[in-house]
Amino acid sequence: MLTLSAGCGPQVSRIPTPTPAPVDVEVVPLTVVCPESVAPAVRAAASAFRGERPAFEITVLAQADALAMRALRQGDAEIAVLTWLPEELPENAWARPVVRDGLAIVVNPQNGVPGLTMTQLQDLFRGRLEDWAAWGGLPGPPQLIARETASGDSAFFQAWVMRDARVSLNALMAPTSEAVLDFVVDDALSVGYLSSARTDGRVRAVVINGVPPTAETIANNLYPLTRTHFVVMMTEPEGAAREFAQWLLAAPGQEVLQAHGFVPIPE
């Protein structure tokens, strides 16, 4: 038997595998503006989109609807996702419905008020209810939580609930949806409004006209405060903006938005 020792035989040099030279990828920048209530969902969608198209660099800025529309008009962003479509859009503007949600009226879980009609809701925010107990709720005066006038939540609430009436001057103004939640969690007598997609177990969404803000009632437009969100651009989209808009409106984008509590538009 012939045994070869480690020191016998010719030395074999290993040639390292060459490392490919990095390929320069042209970065495609895109700025999207949207209200803070939608921002977490839009950021998640942008991240998922970049997973498929790494060249895209998408910046998502959270701004109230009115400010988001101004940024779009001024060219500071290519795309806006709005909770409230302005009555007057530029002539060449492009807008498509993307998802739905409901404007949920939320109270502290300790408040057992069984539900409200739209008329009661207006009276409530006009400051006409002195004690929740009169409507079957927790004894004590309501503390109203409203949103600043630039927000889409405020615009929608004014148009659909208050109409020509004004919210009571005693209402506290919350700058964000999270602030609404914090107010309602901390004060058992408080009541506010925010996107149904942002509600959680810390608060209770009140039934309005006998209908709760669920995915099914919102999808079928049964909940009285159902609203549609829109993707808006100043002109017919092209290039990077067109790709991202189409992706949002198609199944991949819809799945991400739905995972964040929003409701797809029925076909």
Please check whether residue 68 is in contact with residue 33, taking contact to mean a CB–CB distance below 8 angstroms. yes
For the chain, the average pLDDT equals 91
Helix and strand numbers, DSSP H then E, in the chain: 8, 10
Confidence band for 86, pLDDT divided at 50, 70 and 90: confident
CB environment 192-221: b (16+ within 10 A), e (fewer) = bbbbbbbbeeebbbbbbeebbbebebbeee
Q: Within the chain, what is the greatest distance between any pair of CA atoms? A: 106
* 52 Cβ contact list (under 8 Å, min separation 6): 247, 252
Please check whether residue 208 is in contact with residue 113, taking contact to mean a CB–CB distance below 8 angstroms. no
Q: Which domains does the chain have, with CATH numbers?
A: 28-100+227-264 (3.40.190.10), 102-219 (3.40.190.10)
Please check whether residue 135 is in contact with residue 128, taking contact to mean a CB–CB distance below 8 angstroms. no
**Closest listed residue to residue 153, CA positions, set 115, 206, 109, 101:** 101
Q: Which residue reads 């492009």 in tokens?
A: 94
For position 161, what pLDDT does the model report? 98
**Closest listed residue to residue 257, CA positions, set 197, 201, 207, 204:** 197
Confidence band for 20, pLDDT divided at 50, 70 and 90: low
Q: HSE, CB side, 13 Å, CA atoms: give it for residue 214.
A: 6
Chain segment 224-264, per-residue pLDDT in tens = 999 999 999 999 999 999 999 999 999 999 999 999 999 99
Chain segment 154-168, per-residue pLDDT in tens = 999 999 999 999 999
Chain segment 59-78, per-residue pLDDT in tens = 999 999 999 999 999 999 99
**215 vs 150: CA distance, rounded Å:** 27
pTM: 0.87
Confidence band for 7, pLDDT divided at 50, 70 and 90: very low
**111 vs 185: CA distance, rounded Å:** 11
Please check whether residue 248 is in contact with residue 98, taking contact to mean a CB–CB distance below 8 angstroms. yes
Q: Which residue reads 């895209």 in tokens?
A: 56
